[in-house]
């Protein structure tokens, strides 16, 4: 019979989430390295492939990243010529981020990432969708706690 000790490491949701995140990110790394992207940069590119241009503020809100974290990511993506960053003509306080041709073209290679991750995990897509739904519920509950 399992112990009822609430402080057992194996019973901690935070521990399971951290280990799962590290494990999944280790699968992404060799897939993203040839594209010249880190996982956080990949997330920025996903946001921009979905909708470009976006303001720096909008990217930060979508990815839940603060400016000190996001700014260096954007700088490296700009140095790699995947994005441009320009002050908005309408509001000089706003910086708009837009994909370059090279950034748009990288999307074709990125299309291979999701199926490769699914294959490496060896899980059914339906299991991963259910996990995503559960994690989204956890995120929402944590936001409102």
Indicate the fold that domain 9-143 takes in CATH: Arc Repressor Mutant, subunit A (1.10.10)
Q: What are 4-53's pLDDT values in tens digits? A: 899 999 999 999 999 999 999 999 999 999 999 999 999 999 999 999 99
Residue 98: exposure state from Cβ atoms within 10 A (0-12, 13-18, ≥19): middle
* pTM for the whole structure: 0.91
In the chain, what are the domain boundaries? Answer: 9-143
38 and 26 in contact (C-beta within 8 Å)? no
């Amino acid at each position: 019979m399992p112990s009822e000790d609430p402080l057992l490491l194996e019973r901690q949701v935070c521990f399971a989430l951290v280990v799962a995140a590290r494990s999944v990110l280790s699968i992404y790394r060799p897939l993203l390295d040839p594209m010249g992207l880190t996982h956080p940069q990949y997330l920025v590119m996903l946001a921009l492939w979905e909708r470009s241009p976006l303001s720096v503020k909008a990217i930060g809100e979508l990815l839940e990243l603060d400016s000190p974290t996001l700014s260096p990511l954007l700088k490296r993506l700009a140095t790699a010529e995947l994005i441009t960053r320009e002050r908005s003509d309408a509001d000089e306080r706003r910086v708009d981020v837009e994909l370059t041709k090279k950034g748009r073209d990288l999307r074709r290679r990125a299309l291979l990432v999701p199926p490769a991750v699914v294959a490496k995990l060896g899980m059914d897509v339906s299991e991963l969708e259910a996990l995503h739904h559960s994690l989204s519920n956890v995120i929402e509950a944590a936001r409102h706690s």
